[in-house]
Amino acid sequence: MASYDKAIPPGGEGRITLRVRTKGYQGKIYKSAKVNTNDPRLNVVRLRIKGFVKVPIYLSARGVYLRANEGGSVSKSVEIKAGLDRPLTLKPIGFSVGDRVSYRIEEVEKGKRFKIHFTSLPGPPQNYKGFLKLKTNYPEKPKITIKIRGQIAKNVKR
Amino acid sequence: MRRLLVCIFAIPMIILLCFPARGQEVRGPKLVLEEREFDFGEVKEGKVVEHTFRLFNKGDQPLKIVRVKPG
């Protein structure tokens, strides 16, 4: 969002205010705004705001997309990192695509870093979607939901 | 003789191009920005971060901000 002075007299000063909502962001964030002016030498200028958004738990992705061919399988993983100085624990509380996907939780660094490995199971051509819900011991972020989407593509005979 | 003629015409032309008369200075609005980038450091998720960029018009005509498009 932006608010600005529409005209600045010769020798005068103006302001452009940029606002960034950080809800839903995590980690490094870059936002910019393109400014168009009537200065023929600088009629387009880009203003940037950057910073770091702290969250209790960092996720490398909000979800995974598993695309495999008929009879085959594919694996993807999501990394979960503790953003607080307390050890993090994860406990699965819901998994809606157990007949199409398997998963495994790897504790890479005790209480700090985890990897959730998802592997699609062979099956007939289809599209599917679901989720894995994890309960955490952080009151600031008691639940994590990882979205799962997948496709088993029909093999094309040549 | 030919060299002399070239000197007579070329030297004043070069001087004119290098040192334009004061009255011919570029006119119009002139945008000068104090900064183009702002680092807000670390913030907790959910906060709204705000920053005001100051800009100056060093020209001799009004500077118009036609549009600011966040992207």
Instruction: Sort out which chain A residues have CB atoms less than 8 A from B31's CB and list them.
Output: 37, 39, 41-42, 45
Best mutation target, B34, B48, B49, to test chain A (most A CBs within 10 A): B49
Mean pLDDT, all residues of chain A: 94
ipTM of this predicted structure? 0.72
Minimum-distance CB partner of B68 among A22, A33, A50: A33
- Give me the domain span that covers residue B62: 25-37+52-71
Residue A15's pLDDT band, with cuts at 50, 70 and 90, is very high
Kindly state whether residue B63 falls inside one of the protein's structural domains. Answer: yes
Minimum-distance CB partner of B51 among A8, A25, A49: A49
pTM over the 0.80 mark? no
Kindly state whether residue B31 falls inside one of the protein's structural domains. Answer: yes
Decide if domain A57-153 falls under CATH 2.60.40.10: yes
- Parallel/antiparallel/unpaired status of strands A63-69 and A143-153: parallel
Q: Is B62 close to A10, i.e. CB distance below 8 A?
A: yes
**A25, A48, A56, A152, B27 from A53: Cα distances, Å:** 7, 16, 10, 36, 44
Kindly state whether residue B3 falls inside one of the protein's structural domains. Answer: no
Kindly state whether residue B12 falls inside one of the protein's structural domains. Answer: no
Best mutation target, B32, B40, B58, to test chain A (most A CBs within 10 A): B40
Kindly state whether residue B7 falls inside one of the protein's structural domains. Answer: no
Instruction: Please report the DSSP string for chain B in residue order.
Output: -HHHHHHHHHHHHHHHHHS--GGGS--S--EEES-SEEEEEEEETTPEEEEEEEEEE-SSS-EEEEEEEE-
- The structural domain count of chain B equals 1
pLDDT tens track for B6-43: 555 555 555 444 444 444 455 899 999 999 999 999 99
Q: Domains of chain A: which residue ranges? A: 2-53, 57-153
